[in-house]
C-alpha cells in the first residue's frame, strides 16, 4: 500500500515556468486539487524528464528486422527463454543509447522496468541487456499505465524537491508542497492550512513572535523552549515513523490498511511493524522480517 495519496500527474515537467509574483509570495503545489501557481524551471538535467522536442523514435535496425522476418523465424528471449516470433519483441531499442539488438520480449521488459521502479528506485531503471539508463520516454514506452503513473509521480516529486526554496508540508496527513521565497520564513500550506516556521520546523508555530525573539527566549525560557521542541518531536514520533530507506528518512503516517508500506517520497517498500525492506522479504519470505516482528518466522 502507499502511505499517502499521490500528486497530480504531471508528464511534461517543461511546463513548470517561472513565477511572476513577488519573491515573498508562496507558490503552492496542492495535492489532488486544481492547479495552483506556476513553479520555476530549474530542474537538474540529471533527472529523467519528458522529451522537449516531441520527436518520434528513429527507425531502427531492430524494427526493420522484425518487419522483414518470415513467419517461421523465431527469437529466444534472454530472460524468460521462450522462443517467439519477432513481433513479440519491441520494434525499437530499449533505450536511445542502446546499440545492441533487442532480444528481450515486450512482456519481460515491462516486468523488468516495473520491478526496477518499485525495488531499485524510479531513477534507476536500466536496460536489462546492457545496463544503459532509461529516460522518461523509454520508461513510458514499456510499462503499463498504472506503473507509469507511479513513476511519473516519483519523478515529479524529485523535480519539485530540487527547486530552490521549495518545501514540503510537514503535516503527516498532507502530501503538498510549495515555494516560500526569502525573506519569508513562515510556511502556510495552501492545501491543508498547516503552518510552521522554516527556522524551527520541529516546533509549534510561534505566532506573533519573531525568530530572533523566540531564540532569545523573550516568548519562553530556554528550558520551556527545549521542552516544547521535545514535545513536538515526540508527538510526531508517536503518530508516525521514518521511512526505512537510509537515504530518505521521511516521516510517514499510517492511518489504515496493511503493514506493507510504500514511502510516497522515495518509493521504498518496507514493513511498518519492523522496518525491514520488502525486497529482502520477497526473497526470504517471513525470515526477511526482523526478529521481534509479528510477521517474523
**pLDDT computed for residue 293 by the predictor:** 92
CB 80 within 8 A of CB 105: yes
Mean pLDDT of 249-270: 80
Evaluate the CA torsion angle 182, 188, 192, 196 in order and state its sign: positive
**pLDDT computed for residue 264 by the predictor:** 75
Q: Does the domain made of 61-157 have the CATH classification 3.40.50.1820?
A: no
Judged against a pLDDT cut of 60, whether residue 14 lies above it is answered with: no
d(CA 4, CA 234): 21
Burial of 175 (0-12, 13-18, 19+ CB in 10 A): buried
- Residue pLDDT, tens place only, 271-294: 988 988 888 787 788 888 998 899
**pLDDT computed for residue 237 by the predictor:** 66
Q: Which triple of cell numbers denotes residue 268? A: 521504498
**Strand segments (E) across the chain:** 26-29, 75-76, 83-84, 166-168, 177-180, 186-188, 195-197, 240-242, 251-253, 260-262, 269-271
Q: Which triple of cell numbers denotes residue 63? A: 524494427
**pLDDT computed for residue 110 by the predictor:** 93
d(CA 113, CA 237): 35
Q: Where in the chain are all domains bearing CATH 3.30.40.10?
A: 61-157
pTM of the model: 0.50
Mean pLDDT of 229-252: 74
Amino acid at each position: 500500500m502507499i502511505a499517502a495519496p499521490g500528486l497530480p500527474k504531471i508528464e511534461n515537467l517543461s511546463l513548470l515556468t517561472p513565477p511572476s509574483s513577488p519573491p515573498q509570495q508562496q507558490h503552492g503545489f496542492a495535492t489532488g486539487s486544481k492547479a495552483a501557481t506556476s513553479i520555476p524551471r530549474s530542474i537538474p538535467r540529471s533527472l529523467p524528464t519528458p522529451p522537449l522536442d516531441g520527436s518520434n523514435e528513429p527507425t531502427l535496425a531492430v524494427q526493420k528486422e522484425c518487419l522483414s522476418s518470415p513467419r517461421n523465424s523465431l527469437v529466444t528471449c534472454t530472460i524468460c527463454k521462450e522462443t517467439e516470433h519477432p513481433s513479440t519483441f519491441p520494434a525499437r531499442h530499449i533505450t536511445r543509447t542502446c546499440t545492441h539488438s533487442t532480444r528481450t520480449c515486450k512482456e519481460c521488459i515491462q516486468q523488468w522496468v516495473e520491478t526496477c521502479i518499485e525495488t531499485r528506485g524510479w531513477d534507476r531503471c536500466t536496460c536489462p541487456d546492457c545496463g544503459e539508463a532509461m529516460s522518461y520516454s523509454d520508461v513510458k514506452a514499456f510499462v503499463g499505465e498504472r506503473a507509469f503513473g507511479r513513476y511519473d509521480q516519483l519523478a515529479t516529486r524529485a523535480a519539485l524537491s530540487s527547486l530552490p526554496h521549495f518545501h514540503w508540508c510537514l503535516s503527516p496527513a498532507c502530501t503538498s508542497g510549495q515555494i516560500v521565497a526569502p525573506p519569508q520564513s513562515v510556511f502556510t500550506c495552501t492545501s491543508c492550512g498547516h503552518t510552521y516556521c522554516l527556522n524551527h520546523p520541529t516546533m509549534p508555530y510561534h505566532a506573533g513572535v519573531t525568530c530572533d525573539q523566540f531564540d532569545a527566549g523573550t516568548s519562553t525560557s530556554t528550558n520551556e523552549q527545549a521542552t516544547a521542541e521535545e514535545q513536538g518531536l515526540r508527538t510526531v514520533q508517536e503518530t508516525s515513523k521514518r521511512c526505512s530507506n537510509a537515504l530518505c528518512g521521511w516521516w510517514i503516517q499510517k492511518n489504515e490498511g496493511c503493514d506493507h508500506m510504500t514511502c510516497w517520497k522515495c518509493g521504498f517498500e518496507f514493513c511498518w511493524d519492523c522496518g525491514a525492506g520488502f525486497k529482502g522479504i520477497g526473497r526470504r519470505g517471513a525470515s526477511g522480517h526482523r526478529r521481534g516482528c509479528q510477521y517474523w518466522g
